[in-house]
Amino acid sequence: MSFLGLVTFAERIRGRDAQYDKRRGVPMSQVIVIGAGMGGMACAARLQAQGHKVTVIEQAPTWGGKLGRVEHEGHVFDTGPSLLTLPAVYRDLFLKTGKPLEESVDIVDLETAFRYQFSDGTILRMPGVGIGNSADAIGDALGGSSATEWRNFMVRAGAMWAATRTPFLESELNGLRTLLALSTRVRDLRTIAPQKTLRSLSEHYFTDPRLVTLVDRYATYTGSDPRQAPAALATIPYIEQTFGAYHVSGGLRELGRALFDRCVGLGVNFKFDTDVTAINGSAQVTGVTLGDGQTLSAEIVVANADASAVYQNLLSELARRMCRSEMRKIRKSTPSLAGFVMLLALDEKTADLDHHNVFFPQDYDAEFDSIFGKHPSPVEQPTIYVCRPDDPLMSPEDAESWFVLINAPRHQPPSGCDWHTPGLVDEYSNRILDQLATRGYETAARLKWLSTSSPADLESRTRAPGGSIYGTSSNGTSSAFLRPSNTSPLPGLFLVGGSAHPGGGLPLVAMSAAIVAKHIGHAN
Ligand SMILES: Cc1cc2nc3c(=O)[nH]c(=O)nc-3n(C[C@H](O)[C@H](O)[C@H](O)COP(=O)(O)OP(=O)(O)OC[C@H]3O[C@@H](n4cnc5c(N)ncnc54)[C@H](O)[C@@H]3O)c2cc1C
């Protein structure tokens, strides 16, 4: 098709969207949301506020999914998200469903977003907000031309954000339509460099390998390998430094509590400890079947459960055939990495650590080879992330609650890593503590309590297959188009949350909820 042909075709599609907008106002529907994760609850709140009757069914005894929490003798640990970015997405959700977010939770901006410790001992304290501030901090810590290089990289990342935000993140993903929207703006296509990887982009901009390492880490925010993930992930540090890095007073699960309360206040009905075993209907959704055999009717089902589990296990044979194209996309993509979590209750405060601390290894490639290679195994010398909230609601006085997260291969016996191997979890957590000690942070003398959670534990708690943190990864330059869509080929079935478009992480799952709610529309 000629360039002019592409433009005309794109105009026609835009015209159809405009017609769709004019038809706003649909009959009130019974909606069932499978899963009370953040994406599921965000969608439930929006749909109930739009006049539908929503029931959320959750297999676990509580809401929040991966946004978990553990408490031990006055120590409070977030066991999932520990960093909030783009809080504006939740501000929009709370405003559109009632009162402002700030009336329910206390969002705390962090003066230092991250303390990075490189393998050569260099320490970089990245400020909480401001690209200029970050460039200055980089220049002070790394020297040379690093500050200028960072500024140039961020200019490119900002242009990428401008080009991708609306067509990719805030819209339903439709491979052809999205490509058309971009192809009418050739400059945008050049900016996002669809054939480049994140690693190759940063190698183009940086002369200091430590900056390449720093940017590599952002690929893991989507569960990916920087050597395979698209260059457009440069938007993640841009977002962090432009819009800030935040904590939620009392722990990030408080954001989930506020959302659960908002849902209940709006009249959303919740059923906990209740498993959905089937989505009923072959040509159109008719409801769900529960673990005890009971059926519930609904015109609309929104699945917050993992997309691969939905398409593989919950549909009838006929419906599965109808959804073959979505399964094909999932099979072509690489699952996201998983995480090995350690919770440490410690006596005394550590003087020189910040809220978020990252210890980089000497060989970052070895980490990605261990996770995504042919023979996945726990990373020998991994990047160690320590979240140590300076929050009086999360630790007794003169004590600390550490959340330690290590990127890890998924639980995938017998072909991949088996996290149930006897002794593996204990041996691995000792190894991590030893490595922290060699980096200057000995914990043995202060350690009061230690708890671990492997990818297998996350899988059994939240049904994330293999304990993958973000559903599918962004490995592969066309990965965005392989992510399951928010609409499905089965009429009445929608997908929301980290395993569907636009991806995982607290802001994106709430964006996916907004896309689904917009598609379903207001009840008239
Ligand atoms: C260790 C870790 C660290 C993270 N760090 C960050 C971070 O710092 N910042 C950030 O923004 N994000 C982070 N994330 C990612 C973030 O937690 C997720 O992307 C987000 O919470 C996922 O929300 P979701 O809507 O996809 O639902 P999920 O949390 O995946 O919830 C899905 C729910 O569906 C339920 N369910 C599944 N199947 C069924 C069924 N058949 N019947 C009934 N219920 C079912 C599950 O029990 C679960 O409650 C982290 C995640 C983890 C695990």
Q: What's the pLDDT tens digit per position in 345-385?
A: 999 999 899 999 999 999 999 999 999 999 999 999 999 99
247 in Cβ contact with 391 (< 8 Å):
yes
Average pLDDT over residues 446-474: 96
Residue 174: predicted pLDDT: 62
Helix axes 253-266, 88-96, angle to 10 degrees: 20
Residue 189: predicted pLDDT: 74
pLDDT interval class at 5 (50, 70, 90) = very low
- 513 vs 46: CA distance, rounded Å: 8
What is the CA(468)–ligand 1 centre distance, in A?
10
- 78: pLDDT strictly greater than 80: yes
pLDDT in tens, 174-219: 655 665 666 566 677 788 887 899 999 999 999 999 999 999 999 9
What is the CA(498)–ligand 1 centre distance, in A?
7
Residue 183: predicted pLDDT: 58
Average pLDDT over residues 443-463: 97
Q: Is the peptide bond before 502 cis (omega within 30 degrees of 0)?
A: yes
pLDDT in tens, 221-233: 999 999 999 999 9
- 168: pLDDT strictly greater than 90: no
Here the tokens at position 219 are: 């690929």
Report which ligand 1 atom has the smallest distance to the Cα of 498: 26
Radius of gyration over every alpha carbon of the chain, rounded to an integer in angstroms = 23
- 509 vs 471: CA distance, rounded Å: 12
What lies within 8 Å, CB to CB, of 189 at 6+ separation is: 182, 183
- 1: pLDDT strictly greater than 70: no
Indicate the pairing of strand 112-117 with strand 356-359: parallel
pLDDT in tens, 266-316: 999 999 999 999 999 999 999 999 999 999 999 999 999 999 999 999 999
Q: Is the peptide bond before 484 cis (omega within 30 degrees of 0)?
A: no
For 86-131, what is the HEC assignment?
CCHHHHHHHHHCCCCHHHCCCEEECCEEEEEECCCCCEEEEECCCH
What is the CA(65)–ligand 1 centre distance, in A?
5
Q: C-alpha dihedral over 36, 40, 46, 47, to 10 degrees?
A: -90
60 lines ligand 1 (CB under 6 A): yes
- Look up residue 14 and give its amino acid: R
Report which ligand 1 atom has the smallest distance to the Cα of 458: 53
503 lines ligand 1 (CB under 6 A): no
Q: What number of other Cβ atoms are within 10 A of residue 22's Cβ? A: 7
497 lines ligand 1 (CB under 6 A): yes
Residue 259: predicted pLDDT: 98
Residue 2: predicted pLDDT: 34
Across the chain, mean pLDDT equals: 92
Residue 82 sits at φ, ψ, to 5 deg, of -130, 0
- 11: pLDDT strictly greater than 60: no
Residue 4: predicted pLDDT: 31
379 in Cβ contact with 368 (< 8 Å):
no
- 197 vs 232: CA distance, rounded Å: 8
> How many Cα atoms occupy the beta-carbon half-sphere of 246 within 13 Å?
23
pLDDT interval class at 8 (50, 70, 90) = very low
Q: What number of other Cβ atoms are within 10 A of residue 88's Cβ? A: 12
Report which ligand 1 atom has the smallest distance to the Cα of 83: 8
> What is the share, in percent, of the chain residues with pLDDT greater than 90?
85
> What is the share, in percent, of the chain residues with pLDDT greater than 70?
93
Average pLDDT over residues 401-418: 97
Residue 10: predicted pLDDT: 38
- 66 vs 254: CA distance, rounded Å: 13
pLDDT in tens, 56-68: 999 999 999 999 9
pLDDT in tens, 233-264: 999 999 999 999 999 999 999 999 999 999 99
Residue 134 sits at φ, ψ, to 5 deg, of -65, -45
512 lines ligand 1 (CB under 6 A): no
SS3 422: coil
67 lines ligand 1 (CB under 6 A): yes
pTM, two decimals, is 0.93
Residue 24: predicted pLDDT: 54
Residue 6: predicted pLDDT: 34
Q: C-alpha dihedral over 26, 30, 36, 40, to 10 degrees?
A: -20
Here the tokens at position 490 are: 């089965």
What is the CA(35)–ligand 1 centre distance, in A?
9
